[in-house]
Amino acid sequence: MQTHSKIHRLLLTGAAGHLGAVLRDRLQPFADVLRVSDIACMEPASSAAQEVVICDLADKAAVHALVQGCDAIVHMGGVSVEKPFEEVLEANVKGIYHVYEAARCHGVRRVVFASSNHVTGFYKQTEKLDAGVQRRPDGYYGLSKSFGEDLAMFYFDRYGIETVSIRIGTSCAEPANRRMLSTWLSYDDLLQLIVRALFTPGVGHTVVYGASANRDVWWDNHEAARLGYVPKDSSEPWRSVVEAQPALEAGDPMLVYQGGFYTAQGPFEASR
């Protein structure tokens, strides 16, 4: 993948997480300096072109120091699965506010935000959605990502910071179940989508879905096409293996809702 320019200093948050670790070296060619951060320990810098910073997104001062000197942000950091509200609040709600406020203070003009398909998780799998539908989050995690999209819009309208919010489906090495046959996003397609989001001019606040060219689609992704995103991969090579798995019972959330089992998790405080 080629671009006509590089970002001088690009910040990747959540670099110790699953997708952050996948993206770390893949994003390096698109920046003179790649600054990577996480609350967890990370591998040391692989070259002089990488900077490694431990940072708690819930710590406002630490986030401001992290963002200073950066020209764009790929924000993958935060809790990435359904958790009790208090856990989600710190990294995903306070954390993204700190990221955008630091971006405002330090002159960052472009953010790529890892949103999630779970902001629309309570839609049925029989429905086809575009990015403009009313959001129906399927849990605290989905609620936090919905908040993040609103925050991104606010910071564009108020301060002109442009964002592409990517409602990531399921990005992993290969699809593991029937739901993933529709939601799967290959690592190569994820990288392509992020790079398009970083370099396409005039995005304002654009919301897109993150999925590969799968056969059975739940999402009308014409907004991603406006970025020039053309997915190269598909879940089809794994269809026969996945469909050989034992059938799920009728009414199983994995068969009914786009958010799958996230729609049935919690309440986490019930046993207290």
Q: Which sequence positions are flagged as catalytic?
A: 141
Give, for 23, the enclosing helix (H) or strand (E): helix 18-27
Distance, in Å, from the CA atom of 218 to the CA atom of 97, rounded to the nearest integer, reads 30
DSSP string, 190-222: HHHHHHHHHH-S--SEEEEEE--S-SS--B--H
| Euclidean distance between CA atoms 39 and 244, whole angstroms | 40
| Region class of 112: left (phi > 0), else alpha (psi between -120 and 50), else beta | beta
Task: Give me the helices (H) in 75-221, please.
Answer: 85-88, 95-106, 140-159, 180-183, 187-199
